[in-house]
Amino acid sequence: MSHANVELIGAIYAAFAAGDVPGVLGRMDPAIEWHEAENFPYADGSPYIGPEAVAQGVFMRCATEWDGFAVQVDEIVDGGDTVVAFGRYLGTYKATGKAQHAQMAHVWRIADGRAVWFQQYVDTLAVARVTGTA
């Protein structure tokens, strides 16, 4: 089953890269628990519960506050029902005009073919420098 879990997470990132938000949200459990990293700008709503909360609290902000926001996934690690992705966040923060290349890791938990839990880890100092909060 774990290969299917890796494929699920890969499909989420592919949908996100294509701007297919319904394709991302449709792969989440209706009760997904989404945690942004402590001290990350969007952690103010953590944990977000449900795909709509993630869409409004995270994805909408990424789309409106950044030019070219992207998640560059370098590696996906198969841990069975837990899948970990390593990579970088890219994009330019509109308010400062600064570009980011922040290191990140995402931990996903999968049940019944859907993402049920997410934890973001990111270089929050790098993000704070780009957003002008450091």
Report if pTM > 0.85: yes
d(CA 60, CA 63): 5
d(CA 129, CA 19): 26
Backbone angles phi, psi at 43, to 5 degrees: -75, -5
pLDDT-based confidence at residue 2 (cuts at 50, 70, 90) = confident
Report whether 62 contacts 81 (CB < 8 A).
no
Domains in the chain (CATH in brackets) are 2-131 (3.10.450.50)
Bridge pairing between strands 114-122 and 28-35: parallel
Give per-residue pLDDT as tens, 53-104. 999 999 999 999 999 999 999 999 999 999 999 999 999 999 999 999 999 9
H runs (alpha helix) in the chain: 2-17, 21-25, 51-54, 60-65, 124-131
Report whether 50 contacts 60 (CB < 8 A).
no
Give per-residue pLDDT as tens, 97-132. 999 999 999 999 999 999 999 999 999 999 999 999
